[in-house]
Structure 1
Amino acid sequence: MTQRRRIDLNCDLGEAVTTDQLEVEARLMTLVTSVNIACGVHAGDVTLMRHTVRMALRHRLAVGAHPGLPDRESQGRREQTLSPSFVEELIHSQVGGLMSISQAEGARLSHVKPHGALYNMAARDRVIADAISTALARLDHRLILIGLAGSALIAAGSAQGLRVAAEGFADRGYQADGSLVPRGQQGAIIHDEATVVARARSLVTADRIAAIDGSMLHCHIHTLCLHGDTPDAVPLAQALRVMFDEAGISVTRVDHVA
């Protein structure tokens, strides 16, 4: 009997600033399996962190940290010059803070996924990737590190002895080298639902996705990202779940697939 393919569907949450955004986050929690919670630096605050952890627990989701750069004006998406020691402290303080909140709410932090510019810099810069991995190992060696498939962050986490989860994106454009097309450039964000669903199916069932130049990338992933701030994120999540069900793909938490 053929074994069903398993995938985690993760979402970056705890970033809401309006009632409508809070409602979208609540609806997404009924559709995803893991959440990455903003740690109060690029977005969120202690109250929202605690609320999001409680909601995730209610839906039995894997609870993870989503640490970012200290730049709320650009929502942590502007690259900065970073020293390894600064990155270590940035990760240690943010993840440690959410870890304490999670423990107080009766949850164990399962994973960490850097946000925005920090994620993209760590994907290509092994020094930054090593600093992130070192900070996580200091905090809790059981933490799963989520990073772009094939990136320096995945390599650094593995070298540190951490469990790693390779991540893919169906709604983002890929460059021929496997990196993401930078936001703001043409082709960076894919909005058409049918296209996103088809790309997700190819990633999960065939380990393949088309780059922006038309070439095909081999990309084995453990987890697929759904952006909570994408317009129509809820209908897209629903469409992805229908596709997974029709394709015989089991959707489960990141700590069950990594």
Structure 2
Amino acid sequence: MSSSTARAINDAGDIVGDSTFGGGLSNATLWRNGAVIVLPGIGGEARAINNAGQIAGIYAVTEAGSNGPTVVAYQAARWDNYVLSTLGGPNSQAYDINDAGVVVGEMFSSEGYIRPVRWDGTVATDLGTLAGEFAAAFGINNAGQIVGTGLKASIFDPASTFEQRAFLWDGPSIIDLTSLLDSETLTAGWVLESANDINDQGWIVGSAYNTLTDARRGFVLAPVPEPETWAMLLAGLGLIGAIARRRVTVV
């Protein structure tokens, strides 16, 4: 093994990631009880593992070349008991998996746009976008709540500035988390660019951007006991603000 990266761990201590041998393409890899297990799939990356041992990630679609295999596309994948299955899509990536085996990620549409999707088995469901054509789902909890990022406006809009916004999908549509911030936080210039993960208590983590100072910070968005409110902590700022929950259901 010439290099390796660990990306996720489950409650049993199983670790997944990728490794390379001799400078070739990466291999999705599982570290379990001291053993290194190379999973099927050339050019693979294992990105998430649930408590049932199911793994989600990507593998490379390759073509033979004069200097070895050439990657022509990546496909979302799931490994069950070390067996690889594709989740569909000519170009797709999986980022997370919950304990029910539901996988989330992104997939190119027939028009060539990147769409946020959830796979229940091999059935892909488009989650919709925040008015733009590009979005991706990065995290899912055991309640089925999904978080990610997307463009807030269409790329065909002449006024579009390609701004990203964090979203929460709680069915049946996605919600721009920035739209729920209180006026004080918005006036201070903060927007939530990307939601990267959500736990079973409904806590969301991601990255925030200040349009006035050009600063970037991590954020934690957490449910609080009071009805119809959340609290936001912008890590590194010590700033706590209340935001209206509105249509969002929080477990």
Instruction: Answer 1 or 2: which has greater strand percent.
Output: 2
Tell me the TM-score normalized by structure 1. Answer: 0.29
More helix by share: 1
Relative contact order (alpha carbons < 8 A, sep ≥ 6): 1 or 2 greater? 1
TM-score by structure 2 length? Answer: 0.30
